[in-house]
């Protein structure tokens, strides 16, 4: 698989203070609740000419025929039902993270960690310096990965940090460091599973894929923090990248059912996390419910100051410097600039239609701020209630509207743009992960057919042992065109507007008798 797949997933969770080191494909407009560095706001994938293929962007996928293993579930990427334990995996994950952080602080091992995280992932399986990789894994990751192995079958992910009672900024400060270290653990684990693939140790490879998806679940499900969900999706994406790479090895077994065992609802679902991030605005000091009766100018000024300070704390904790609009709020200019707009808006409400003139300027602006926070949050949150593929174009309209409001100098709209959950980015991250899983399953279905017939199928509907899957981004089958008995193109929908890695040239190889 191309090395940029995980990079693009990672770019969803680049936090300014702990960047992954990859650039986002679309970093024009930041609109998040707790992670303003989730900057790309994926535009809808435009309609494509289904018959046009840019030859320069075609990826080669070299495969060998491979029958369904016997028994069918010999290889599993998720713990078998009879092995699952009703125990909590988080203590083991926590110890693994602590070991990882401790090792990286050791000056003597930093060089190897640099290679493990930056250099070796760019090498093909054949190029891996296996002796050096073995040395690294034996010396530096024994404790890190051993803890993951201890928790492999512990299926509970309870992580009670009492964050429900913390402020928005405190939640960010509590959770971000651990997600940072989970990514490091994921890279070490991925190095070990790639080494297993390079050496043809498929049982070990399968085990480490299981550990990768369990680690992804720990990041995703231990809390409802949206950044954690996106980190989990990225960790799962890294594992699927390596699975696609391994599938092109001559003796790689068929992983159709192993891929099918990956539970999408536990790894790729984002609705609950979007809802949780949407509640963080209500955790801002000064944003508590207001009484029906006026509270007076002094109390209103205090609430506005608390609200602004809390919002700035949240943005700072997320790695974003204070916005000019926030500074205006702190200086009191917000009241001056927004009072007429506030009174006009409140006059349209049933509650204040006949009483708006009795409100002081600070209180009118405060109540308008509460009103707009609620309206704008609901405008984002409502789209998470629909399937992402159906809501995408409507979210895009909402985003464009927010861009225009923010560009017009509206301080409140600009602030809300930074404090709203990344509904679109999160939804499409989950869809892309599903697409990758179903794409790999389709390739494995083709390999099963080739093992039975010796050739590629004429069309995907000819697959009669296991089904080809549908593309979650389009809800229709992947495009397939056979060009010969051993050649075909397989095309998936673009994952973002500039995505050129949509078309794959499948080359079916014939095994040497000595293999």
Give me the tens of pLDDT residue by residue for the chain, a chain 515 residues long: 444 443 433 333 332 223 222 223 332 222 233 333 333 333 333 333 444 445 657 999 999 999 999 999 999 999 999 999 999 999 999 999 999 888 877 766 777 778 888 899 999 999 999 999 999 898 888 899 999 999 999 999 988 777 666 776 777 777 778 888 899 899 999 999 999 999 999 999 999 999 999 999 999 988 888 888 999 999 999 999 999 999 999 999 999 999 999 999 999 988 888 887 777 766 776 678 889 999 999 999 888 888 877 777 777 766 655 444 454 555 467 778 788 989 999 999 999 999 998 899 999 999 998 888 888 778 777 877 887 777 776 777 766 766 666 565 566 666 666 666 667 778 888 989 999 999 999 999 999 999 999 999 999 999 999 999 999 988 899 999 999 999 999 999 998 878 888 999 999 998 765 54
Identify the burial level of 127 via C-beta atoms within 10 angstroms of its C-beta, where 0-12 means exposed, 13-18 middle and 19 or more buried: exposed
What global pTM score does this model have? Answer: 0.78
| Tokens encoding 434 | 């599903």
Is the N-terminal amide bond of 19 cis, ω within 30° of 0? no
Can you name the residues that pair with 489 across neighbouring β-strands?
A: 481, 505
Alpha-helical runs (H) found in 279-332 = 297-317, 324-331
The contacts found for 459-465 with CB under 8 angstroms, 24 or more apart, are 465/68
Q: What is the reported pLDDT for 129?
A: 95
| Tokens encoding 16 | 């300014």
* 3-class secondary-structure state, position 221: helix
Spell out the domain ranges in the chain.
Answer: 4-55+68-269+438-445, 284-420
Q: Which distant-in-sequence residues (6+ apart) come within 8 Å of 341 by Cβ?
A: 368
d(CA 369, CA 301) in angstroms, rounded, equals: 12
Angle at 16 between CA 423 and CA 242, to 5 degrees: 70
Q: What is the reported pLDDT for 81?
A: 96
By residue count, the chain amounts to: 515
Q: What is the reported pLDDT for 236?
A: 97
Instruction: Report the phi/psi class of residue 92: left, alpha or beta, with left for phi > 0 and alpha for psi in -120 to 50.
Output: alpha
d(CA 331, CA 60) in angstroms, rounded, equals: 58
* 3-class secondary-structure state, position 50: coil
* 3-class secondary-structure state, position 284: coil
Whether residue 352 contacts residue 359, with contact meaning beta carbons closer than 8 Å, is answered with yes
Taking CA atoms, 471 is separated from 147, 241, 389, 492, 503, in Å, by 36, 17, 11, 7, 13
Q: How far apart are the first and last CA of the chain?
A: 23
């Amino acid at each position: 698989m191309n090395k940029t797949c995980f990079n693009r997933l990672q770019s969803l969770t680049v936090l300014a203070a702990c960047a992954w080191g990859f650039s986002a494909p679309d970093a024009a407009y930041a609109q998040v609740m707790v992670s303003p560095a989730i900057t790309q706001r994926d535009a809808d994938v435009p309609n494509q000419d289904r018959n046009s293929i840019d030859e320069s962007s075609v990826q080669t996928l070299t495969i060998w025929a491979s029958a369904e293993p016997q028994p069918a579930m010999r290889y599993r990427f998720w713990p078998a039902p009879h092995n699952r334990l009703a125990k909590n995996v988080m203590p083991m994950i926590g110890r693994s993270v602590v070991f990882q952080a401790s090792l990286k602080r050791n000056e003597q091992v930093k060089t190897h960690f640099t290679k493990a995280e930056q250099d070796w992932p760019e090498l093909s399986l054949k190029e891996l310096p296996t002796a050096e990789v073995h040395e690294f894994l034996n010396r530096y990751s024994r404790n890190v990965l051993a803890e993951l192995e201890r928790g492999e079958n512990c299926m509970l992910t309870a992580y009670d940090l009492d964050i429900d009672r913390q402020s928005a900024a405190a939640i960010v400060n509590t959770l971000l460091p651990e997600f940072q270290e989970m990514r490091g653990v994921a890279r070490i684990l991925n190095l070990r599973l790639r080494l297993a693939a390079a050496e043809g140790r498929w049982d070990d490879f399968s085990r480490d894929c299981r550990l990768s998806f369990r680690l992804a679940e720990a990041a995703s499900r231990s809390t409802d923090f949206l950044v954690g969900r996106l980190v989990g999706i990225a960790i799962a994406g890294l594992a699927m990248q390596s699975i696609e790479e391994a599938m092109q090895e001559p003796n790689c077994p068929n992983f159709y059912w192993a891929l099918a065992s990956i539970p999408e609802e536990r790894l790729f679902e984002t609705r609950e996390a979007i809802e949780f991030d949407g509640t963080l605005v209500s955790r801002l000091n000064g944003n508590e419910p207001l009484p029906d009766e006026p509270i007076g100018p002094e109390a209103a000024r205090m609430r506005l100051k608390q609200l602004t300070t809390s919002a700035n704390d949240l943005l700072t904790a997320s790695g974003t410097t204070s916005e000019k609009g926030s500074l205006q709020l702190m200086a009191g200019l917000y009241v001056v600039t927004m009072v007429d707009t506030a009174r006009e808006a409140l006059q349209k409400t049933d509650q204040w239609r006949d009483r708006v003139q009795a409100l002081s300027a600070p209180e009118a602006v405060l109540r308008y701020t509460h009103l707009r926070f609620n309206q704008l949050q609901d405008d984002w949150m409502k789209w998470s209630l629909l399937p992402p593929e159906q809501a995408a174009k409507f979210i895009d309209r909402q985003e464009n509207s927010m861009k225009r409001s923010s560009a017009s100098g509206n301080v409140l709209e600009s602030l809300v743009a930074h404090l709203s959950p990344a509904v679109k980015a999160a939804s499409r991250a989950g869809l892309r992960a599903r697409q990758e899983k179903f794409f790999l399953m389709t390739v494995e279905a083709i390999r099963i057919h080739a093992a039975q017939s010796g050739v590629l199928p004429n069309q995907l509907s000819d697959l009669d042992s296991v089904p080809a899957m549908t593309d979650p981004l389009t809800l229709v089958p992947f495009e397939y065109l056979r060009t010969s008995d051993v050649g075909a193109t397989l095309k998936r929908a673009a994952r973002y507007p500039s995505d050129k890695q949509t078309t794959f040239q499948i080359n079916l190889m014939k095994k040497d008798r000595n293999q």
